[in-house]
Homo-oligomer: A and B are copies of this chain.
Amino acid sequence: MGFSRFTSLVSGLPATIPFVGPETQERQRGRPFDARIGANESAFGPSPKVVEAMAEAGKEAWKYCDAENYQLKTALSAHLGVPYDAVAVGEGIDGLLGLIVRMIVEPGTPVVTSLGAYPTFNYHVAGFGGRLVTVPYRDDHEDWQALAETCRREDAPLVYFANPDNPMGSFVDAGQVAAFVDAVPETTMVVLDEAYGETAPDGTLPAADAFLDRPNVIRTRTFSKAYGLAGMRVGYAIGAPDTIRTFDKIRNHFGVNRQGQIAAQAALADQTHLKSVVDAVAEARERIAEIARDNGLTPLPSATNFVTIDCGQDGVFAKSVLTALVESGVFVRMPGVAPLNRCIRVSAAPEAELDVFAERLPAALKAARG
C-alpha cells in the first residue's frame, strides 16, 4: 500500500522524464557513444576562463550561493541594457518554465503550444494539471498566427513560442515576433523561449528591452547552448519588472548553485569565446548539411546549434535511421510527432564528432532502407 494522500493531481501523473539522457543510453548499451551530438549541447565547450573561474571557486563551495543572484543579474542587466529588476535567474530554462507554469496554470487551464515543441514545457503543464492545446507547425515553422488565434479562441492564459525553434531549427525575424506579441491578447502570458538566440542571424531577436512594457511577455534564455554550460543549469528570464517579481514568490531561492553563478558570470564576460563558438557552430551546421546532402537527405535551414535533417520518408523510417545511428555509437535525437518526425536532429560539434557521423550515416541509412 502506498501513501494514500498525495494530491489527486500528483497521483494521476506518470513517473516519467521528458528526455532519456545519453548517460542512461550508455548504461543500457554497456558502452559510451563515439559522438555525443543529440542534446544540442555545445561540444565546443565553455570558455577556458570559465573553467579557470570554476576551478578557483571550488574551495569556496562551502558557502551558500547568493540567493539573490545579485552579481549575475547585475552583469546580465548591463550586458542586455535592461533594468536589474527586469531579470530573473533560475535553474536553467527548465526550472524557469516550471515556475512560469506554476504561476498561471491550475487544473483545467488551457495552455497553447506547437505540436511537437519543447516536451519539458508540456511536462510542467501536465504537472500542474493544465490542458494542452496544440497548434501544428506550418512548413516546419511554429505557426505564430495560429498560436495567437488559438489563444483567443481558448481564452488561454499561457502560450509557448520558441524562436529560434527546437526541434526544427527554424526561425522568424524580430518583426514577426513583435507581430505575434501584438496578436496575442494581453490576458495571455507569452513565453518567448530564446534558448538558441545566440546562434541566430542578426535581426532574429527583438531588442532585449523590446517588450518590457508588456506585463504578459517573459523571454527565457540560457547559458546551456552557445555559452557551453548545459551542465551548470543557469537560465534567465527577461520581462516587465512587475512580472519578473513574481518569480520571487515561488522560486527555490538557493536553487542556482554557486559554481553555476560563477560560471555564468565568467561566460558572459568572455564574449570573444562566444563569438568563436557561434562561428564554429555556423561551420558545423554547413558540415552537417553537407553530410546530409551527400547521403541524399535534406538539411533544413537552421538558426540554432543543430541541424534538423529531413530523411525524406515517414517517422518510421527516420526512427530506423536514428536507431541504427544510436546502435553504431552516434547519439542523436529526433522530433516526437508527425510530420516533424520524418527528421533526425544533429547537434553542431567539433570536426571529430561530425566525422564519426559522416562515417556511420551511410550504413544507418542502408540498414533503415534494408
Residues of chain A touching chain B, judged by Cβ–Cβ distance below 8 Å, are 1-7, 10, 13-19, 21, 23-24, 27, 36, 39, 41-46, 50-52, 54-55, 58-68, 70, 91-92, 94-95, 98, 102-106, 127, 157, 186-189, 215-216, 224, 228-233, 240, 242-243, 245-246, 248-250, 252-260, 263
- B27 and A70 contact, CB distance less than 8 A: yes
Complex alpha-carbon distance, A257 and B50, angstroms: 16
**Least Cβ–Cβ distance between A18 and chain B, in angstroms:** 7
* Also in contact, A258 and B245, with CB within 8 A (given A62-B44, A70-B23): no
- B21 and A45 contact, CB distance less than 8 A: no
Choose among B92, B188, B240, B249 the residue that contacts A254 (Cβ–Cβ < 8 A): B92
Task: Sort A-B residue pairs by CB-CB distance and give the 10 closest, nearest first.
Answer: A231-B258, A55-B55, A15-B248, A5-B157, A23-B66, A51-B58, A13-B249, A62-B228, A3-B215, A54-B58
Choose among B6, B231, B246, B258 the residue that contacts A60 (Cβ–Cβ < 8 A): B231
Choose among B13, B103, B231, B253 the residue that contacts A63 (Cβ–Cβ < 8 A): B231
Complex alpha-carbon distance, A2 and B50, angstroms: 38
Oligomer: number of copies: 2
Complex alpha-carbon distance, A67 and B16, angstroms: 11
- B59 and A21 contact, CB distance less than 8 A: no
Q: List 8 A-B contacts (CB under 8 A).
A: A15-B246, A16-B248, A16-B249, A17-B67, A43-B62, A45-B59, A61-B228, A91-B257
- A51 and B61 contact, CB distance less than 8 A: yes
- B243 and A2 contact, CB distance less than 8 A: yes
Complex alpha-carbon distance, A203 and B70, angstroms: 42
Complex alpha-carbon distance, A106 and B39, angstroms: 36
What residue in chain B is nearest A157 (Cβ atoms)?
A: B5
**Least Cβ–Cβ distance between A95 and chain B, in angstroms:** 5
A6-B246, A231-B257 are known contacts; what are 6 more A-B pairs with Cβ within 8 Å? A23-B70, A41-B63, A51-B59, A61-B229, A257-B260, A259-B260
- B231 and A65 contact, CB distance less than 8 A: yes
- B257 and A21 contact, CB distance less than 8 A: no
Q: Using Cβ atoms and an 8 Å threshold, which residues of chain B touch A250? A: 10, 13, 127
